[in-house]
């Protein structure tokens, strides 16, 4: 691969050329590359998350500086005083980043001027609590982890368009903590159900997604074609028949499966053609 082919051209969408915000960010992307900075590095060694630091330093008095050096990473959600103060959000919460010429070399200050809200960055620095009580990292090094080429929705109104929230779920997760918490609760609920059944002697299994007969429920299936066998197959509408065959075959007296089902029927915010079910016998 030639050296100038190491970064693939960015895909263009209709209307991109008319988006002034995207043009500015593309210019900053090019400026980062001209400085020899990889705007999409492979990794960054983080040593702590925001919530962990807040818990660890809950008793740190206002106005106190420490000698604890940390490496944090997250998405820029706010910038104040020309980037001197950054609100950095990770999966656990928020921490403030203080970027000042007393702590950052000139090259890092130049990098700071090329950052935008929405960018993913890594920060190394010392922990302190400001006189106003905000837990803060005095940045001594900044690393660009991913340059965002589109601005996030406006902070105070958030992402209110329901259609956009459903079609761009990743954007919904960035902007709405309630959406993130919903999915986290779902994960905990599924884990609790699995643990409950395993503790009572149930055997977890996986059964086929492609069925020769659409059985187990009265629903319209999705149909596909198996080229090698030249037969029609159906995405399963329920795992019932295969689960019962496992019981009949003596695999276990108690089996369960948590997996996807597909029903080619209505669509609404409360009804999805693809969904997860728990079925047990």
For residue 28, the model assigns a pLDDT of: 97
For residue 57, the model assigns a pLDDT of: 97
Q: Are residues 99 and 38 in the same domain?
A: yes
Report the DSSP beta bridge partners of residue 211. 234
Q: Are residues 27 and 83 in the same domain?
A: yes
CA-wise closest residue to 104 among 64, 74, 137: 137
What's the CATH code of the domain at 182?
3.30.930.10
Backbone dihedral angles phi then psi of residue 115, each to the nearest 5 degrees: -90, 150
Domain of residue 249: give its range: 164-280
In a domain, 126, yes or no: yes
Q: Are residues 89 and 168 in the same domain?
A: no
- Angle at alpha carbon of residue 130, lines to 124 and 131, rounded to 5°: 165
For residue 153, the model assigns a pLDDT of: 85
In a domain, 229, yes or no: yes
0.75 surpassed by pTM: yes
For residue 2, the model assigns a pLDDT of: 44
For residue 4, the model assigns a pLDDT of: 46
CA distance 281 to 279: 7
In a domain, 158, yes or no: no
How many structural domains comprise the chain?
2
For residue 11, the model assigns a pLDDT of: 52
For residue 5, the model assigns a pLDDT of: 44
In a domain, 151, yes or no: no
CA distance 71 to 49: 9
For residue 268, the model assigns a pLDDT of: 81
What's the CATH code of the domain at 46?
2.40.50.140
For residue 157, the model assigns a pLDDT of: 60
Tokens standing for 151?
């601005």
For residue 18, the model assigns a pLDDT of: 77
Q: Which residues of the chain have pLDDT under 50?
A: 1-9, 14
Q: Are residues 42 and 140 in the same domain?
A: yes
The DSSP code sequence of 247-266 is HHTTS-SSEEEEEEEE--S-
In a domain, 116, yes or no: yes
């Amino acid at each position: 691969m030639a050296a100038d082919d190491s970064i693939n051209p960015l895909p263009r969408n209709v209307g991109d050329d008319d988006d002034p915000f995207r043009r500015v960010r593309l210019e900053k992307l090019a400026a980062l590359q001209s400085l020899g900075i990889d705007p999409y590095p492979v990794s960054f060694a983080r040593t702590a998350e925001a919530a962990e630091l807040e818990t660890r330093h809950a008793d740190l008095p206002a106005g106190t500086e420490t000698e604890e050096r940390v490496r944090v990473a997250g998405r820029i959600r706010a910038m104040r005083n020309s980037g001197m103060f950054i609100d950095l959000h990770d999966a656990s919460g928020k921490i403030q980043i203080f970027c000042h010429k007393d702590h950052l070399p000139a090259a890092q200050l130049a990098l700071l001027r090329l950052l935008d809200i929405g960018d993913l960055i890594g920060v190394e620095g010392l922990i302190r609590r400001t006189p106003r009580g905000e837990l803060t990292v005095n940045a001594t090094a900044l690393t660009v982890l991913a340059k965002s080429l589109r601005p996030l929705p406006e902070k105070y109104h958030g992402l209110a368009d329901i259609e956009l929230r459903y079609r761009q779920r990743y954007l919904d997760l960035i902007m709405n903590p309630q959406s993130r918490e919903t999915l986290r609760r779902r994960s905990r609920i599924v884990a609790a159900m699995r643990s409950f059944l395993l503790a009572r002697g149930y055997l977890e299994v996986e059964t086929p997604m492609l069925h020769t007969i659409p059985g187990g429920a009265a629903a319209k299936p999705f149909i596909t074609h198996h080229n090698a066998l030249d037969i029609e197959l159906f995405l399963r509408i329920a795992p019932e028949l295969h689960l019962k065959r496992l019981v009949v075959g003596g695999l276990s007296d108690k089996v369960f499966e948590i997996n996807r089902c597909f029903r080619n029927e209505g669509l609404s915010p409360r009804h999805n053609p693809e969904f997860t079910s728990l079925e047990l016998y």
